[in-house]
A and B are shown apart, each in its own frame.
Chain A
């Protein structure tokens, strides 16, 4: 368990403020529960399945890589009316961040998993299922809906071009090699804006009251 904690802290170390990682017992026999809190006690609960369940383990790791904290923080700057109206913008912004976080998580997973090939094959199966589900829901651009999983697979195996769109392939190729950092997150989110709907502009600003960086969405 200490090894897992270390890995999480390594992933999270670029955050502006330290996180605390607590390990707790849970009623779930096959799960360990890791709780990550930031200085303001916004809490992420991360249920870690057994290590043998590689796909779930790595996907859950992906959720911790970036974005969720900023997502939560960005909501409490506004009054209730504005907050209600900005949910769709936050949703669009999250859609931009997700493939980036998943690409980086895929790379981490590829470097650390005992069986990266199996993980890739499970990821491809997952892409298939999610894609067909998106088609059934009537989404004609279903491949963009599964972009996070494609990015995860790309992180696992960079020699794999999925799209016929050369520009999108180039973005993914650069993304999986890029350093994990907030400036890079913003850089690639702006590039992906061409493909995924997000009708607001965004930047990283330091909150003068709280003293750490947050995402600022302008719409």
Chain B
């Protein structure tokens, strides 16, 4: 019987799969927490000051996560 992964593990695994694309732009993303099926993300590196993150990267990542994991109610960007 295979190992049962937690929601956090599944999301982290997914984020790992897209990180190489972000690293091409010297950016990164990490899972901060999952609470009430809401995923909280924090972007690092070049993504922090990237002016297209709110219009481009974040909504795309949100769409991917909500499409991949039906239990996700929302995705929140905590990057300051």
Interface residue count for A (Cβ, 8 Å)? Answer: 20
- When distances are taken between beta carbons in the complex, the residues of chain B under 8 Å from A87 are none
Q: In the complex the two chains form, what is the Cα distance from A131 to B20 in whole Å? A: 13
Contact yes or no, B59 A162, CB < 8 A: yes
B64 within 8 A of A: yes
Q: In the complex the two chains form, what is the Cα distance from A135 to B63 in whole Å? A: 16
Within 8 A of A (CB), among B6-54: 18, 20-22, 24-25, 50, 52, 54
Q: In the complex the two chains form, what is the Cα distance from A138 to B22 in whole Å? A: 9
Contact of A143 among B18, B20, B50, B60 (CB under 8 A): B60
Also in contact, A143 and B67, with CB within 8 A (given A131-B60, A132-B18, A132-B21): no
- When distances are taken between beta carbons in the complex, the residues of chain A under 8 Å from B52 are 140-141, 143
List residues of chain B with CB under 8 Å of any chain A CB. Answer: 18, 20-22, 24-25, 50, 52, 54-60, 63-64, 67
List residues of chain A with CB under 8 Å of any chain B CB. Answer: 121, 124-125, 127-128, 131-132, 135-136, 138, 140-144, 162-165, 168
